[in-house]
């Protein structure tokens, strides 16, 4: 049985389409050859019969019926194998001369060609054997009749042999065409598999992966060289971006932390109420700047895909339990119960730290915007795919605003009365894209339900190395 992948390959389908077109063309050509050959054989037979008829009729005009009888008798004796057929009968159908024993049944007095059977002997069981023949009949004086024809059994056998040869040749051509298509498709799939494996590793963050050129100088080698050059440039750009990011992290985040520390030191001294309030507000602003800066860096790194190289299997239930326990005290401050429901465990492949950060953002938003005294439910589901679900009983997000809520620095609170920088859901969306997960915002009636559906292990397994797959078993 052919592999499903091979049957779905575009190269195999293209080969089959070309083979079908070629078979149709070859069938038309073979049909033309067969019809032309058969027609030529039939014409040669009729021309041979016509030449014999003309010679016999010349004898009849010169020598009369008696001379015709002698001519027929002489020709019949000269060709006892009855390749040529002669028969002369009088008006009572009595045989005057010839090499067959009776006039064919059903033949009237017209002079057109007709086909009939002649008995040629007996087979091993004593049954008569017959050959097919073609002939023309003529009405002579005194209602005598003349029959001249040919045994066409050998010609028909040649036509049948030609037809069988063409059919066998066509069958061999189809078999060779399909075999060639399979070989070519396997070769093409092999080259494409090399490209797919390399691109999979690249998408998982391994930018050191390169495409191998076979040295044949074909289009695949040219594509490999171009892709390698592109990867070299991308790697240099990402390296430059990481360097800039590190520099920014060092040059901005460190001074912000120092500024915050100095303000805290200043708060230890005696301050007026107004000064203390200003310094505390400055600390909060510094914390907000640091959080915003960290969120931007996390989103940038998630969207770059470089952290796919750190993917590994981890338990959603254990990760969700850690996040839930971390945010339970924050919920208690607003009399909100944070509850985890995970009846079964689900294992996914990804970056545990980023997924935990995304879940933390969802739980934090649920507590921040949920109804005071309400509930926040964190669920780990295994069907139909591994899934994280966070549900609150707050005001929710209108359906027309849910897409916009995933954009950066977008806050749906027009008065911006709640703390935040508008990057929480943006980071969740970036983490979901990094893990090829489906992020969905729904109405919980009341409240908001946010779900992250991860690819199941079989789907993700196609992108893992053998060692990683074995570690999941």
Which tens digit of pLDDT belongs to each residue from 384-397? Answer: 889 999 999 888 88
DSSP assignment string, 131-171: EEEEEEEEE-GGG-EEEEEEE-HHHHHHHHHHHHHHHHHHH
How confident is the model at residue 196, as a pLDDT? 80
- Write down the pLDDT at residue 416: 44
Instruction: Round to whole Å and give the CA distance between 48 and 84.
Output: 9
Strand partners, 373: none
Residues 38, 157 contacting (CB under 8 angstroms): no
pLDDT of residue 460: 47
Q: Is residue 187 part of a domain?
A: no
| Cα angle for residues 271, 276, 277 (degrees, 5° grid) | 155
Segment 444-456 mean pLDDT: 87
- pLDDT above 60 for 375: yes
Q: Which of 206-220, 238-252, 307-321 has the highest mean pLDDT?
A: 307-321
Residues 323 and 401 reside in one and the same domain? yes
| Residue range 20-41: mean pLDDT, rounded | 87
Does residue 463 share a domain with residue 364?
yes
- Higher pLDDT among residues 93 and 298, named by residue: 93
Stretch 104-125: mean pLDDT? 78
- Scored b (16 or more CB within 10 A) or e, 164-188 reads eebeeeeeebeeebeeebeeebeeb
Residue that finishes a domain, picked among 257, 277, 309: 309
Same domain, 249 and 354: no
More confident residue, 346 or 206: 346
Overall domain count for the chain: 3
Q: Give 269-292 pLDDT, tens digit per residue.
A: 777 777 777 777 777 777 767 766
Domain boundary among 280, 309, 338: 309
Q: Which domain holds residue 71?
A: 4-159
Kindly report the backbone phi and psi dihedral angles of residue 208, in degrees, each rounded to the nearest multiple of 5, phi listed first.
-85, -10
- Whether 56 contacts 71, CB under 8 Å: yes
Q: Domain boundary at 281, 309, 337, which?
A: 309
317 and 237 together in one domain: no
Q: What gap in Å lies between CA 294 and CA 103, rounded to an integer?
A: 111
Q: pTM for this structure? A: 0.47
Residue 165 included in any domain: no
């Amino acid at each position: 049985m052919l592999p499903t992948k091979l049957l779905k390959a575009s190269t195999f389908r293209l080969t089959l389409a070309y083979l079908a077109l070629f078979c149709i063309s070859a069938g038309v050509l073979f049909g033309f050859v067969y019809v032309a050959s058969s027609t030529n054989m039939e014409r040669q037979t009729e021309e041979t019969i016509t030449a014999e008829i003309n010679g016999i009729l010349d004898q009849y005009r010169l020598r009369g019926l008696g001379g015709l009888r002698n001519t027929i008798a002489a020709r019949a004796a000269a060709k006892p194998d009855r390749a040529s057929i002669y028969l002369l009968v009088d008006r009572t159908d009595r045989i005057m001369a010839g090499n067959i024993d009776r006039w064919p049944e059903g033949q009237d007095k017209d002079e057109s060609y007709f086909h009939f059977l002649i008995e040629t002997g007996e087979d091993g069981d004593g049954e008569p054997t017959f050959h097919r023949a073609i002939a023309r009949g003529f009405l002579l004086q005194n209602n005598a009749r003349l029959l001249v024809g040919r045994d066409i059994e050998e010609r028909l056998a040649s036509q049948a042999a030609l037809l069988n040869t063409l059919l066998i040749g066509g069958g061999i051509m189809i078999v060779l065409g399909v075999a060639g298509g399979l070989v070519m498709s396997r070769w093409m799939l092999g080259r494409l598999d090399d490209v797919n494996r390399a691109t999979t590793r690249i998408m998982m963050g391994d930018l050191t992966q390169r495409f191998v050129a076979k040295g044949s100088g074909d289009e695949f080698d040219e594509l490999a060289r171009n892709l390698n050059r592109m990867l070299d440039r991308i790697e240099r750009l990402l390296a430059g971006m990481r360097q800039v990011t590190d520099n920014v992290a060092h040059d901005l985040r460190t001074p912000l932390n120092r500024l915050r520390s100095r303000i805290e030191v200043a708060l230890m001294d005696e301050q007026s109420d107004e000064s203390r309030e200003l310094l505390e507000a400055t600390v909060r602003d510094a914390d907000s700047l640091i959080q915003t800066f960290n969120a931007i860096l996390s989103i940038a790194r998630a969207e770059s895909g470089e952290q796919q190289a750190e993917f590994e299997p981890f338990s959603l239930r254990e990760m969700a339990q850690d996040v839930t326990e971390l945010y339970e005290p924050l919920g208690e401050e607003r009399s909100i119960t944070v509850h985890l429901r995970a009846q079964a465990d689900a294992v996914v492949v990804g970056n545990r730290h980023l997924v935990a950060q995304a879940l933390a953002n969802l739980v934090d938003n649920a507590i921040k915007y949920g109804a005071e005294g309400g509930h926040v439910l964190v669920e780990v589901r295994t069907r139909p795919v591994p899934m994280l679900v966070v549900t609150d009983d707050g005001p929710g997000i209108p359906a027309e605003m849910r897409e916009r809520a995933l954009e950066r620095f977008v806050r749906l609170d027009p008065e911006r009365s709640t703390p935040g920088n508008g990057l929480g859901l943006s980071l969740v969306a970036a983490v979901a894209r990094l893990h090829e997960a489906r992020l969905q915002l729904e109405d919980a009636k009341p409240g908001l339900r946010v779900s992250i559906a991860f690819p199941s292990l079989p789907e993700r397994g196609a992108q893992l190395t053998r060692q990683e797959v074995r570690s999941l078993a």
